[in-house]
Amino acid sequence: MTEDRGFCVWFTGLSGAGKSTIAELLVPALRQRGHKVELLDGDVVRTHLSKGLGFSKEDRDTNILRIGFVADLLVRNGVVAICSAISPYREIRDRNRELIGDFVEVYVKASLEEVTRRDVKGLYEKAIAGEISNFTGVSDPYEEPENPELVIDTEQCSPAEAAEMVLARLEELGRLNSNQPANA
């Protein structure tokens, strides 16, 4: 494997499951191994690339396809694209997998009870009370991946342990050399 080979690590899961936290830990670990890395975080992308989109199914699909388009450009240019977005619909994740090709799907799993407990903004409670509509996992569906390359239950491990699990799986899949120092 060459160090300039790009690939995509796509984190999916409910809001508050831990996707962004794990993704942010993965970035420096991959850079220490000599990779060019870019993080495409769903919230950041919505602020810049997808400003003006709402939360209808069509707008969510458009947002996730835009993230996939940018990830594909990065991967084709030797960059590791780390994408962290709820990406609730299986069909759209699968379309991005097909577009990007070298795609590693990581399902970051946590129960509705747990993500509600973690939610400092109280959005889940408002959604459960009917005050927020189209809220993924409450009034809008989240379709779990059928065959992700990795499932991480963040109720069972710390963010640092989860990041190590991702690195180990990337080694198993041949995306990373196991002899590359993790903390060079």
Residues 87, 111, 133, 158: which is the catalytic one? 87
> Which two three-digit tokens encode residue 137?
């996992």
Between CA 106 and CA 143 the distance in angstroms is 14
> Which two three-digit tokens encode residue 98?
């097909």
3-state class (DSSP) for residue 81: strand
Between CA 107 and CA 10 the distance in angstroms is 8
> Which two three-digit tokens encode residue 93?
């994740």
Q: Is 87 a catalytic residue?
A: yes
Q: How many Cβ atoms from other residues are within 10 Å of residue 34's Cβ?
A: 12
Q: Which residues are catalytic?
A: 87
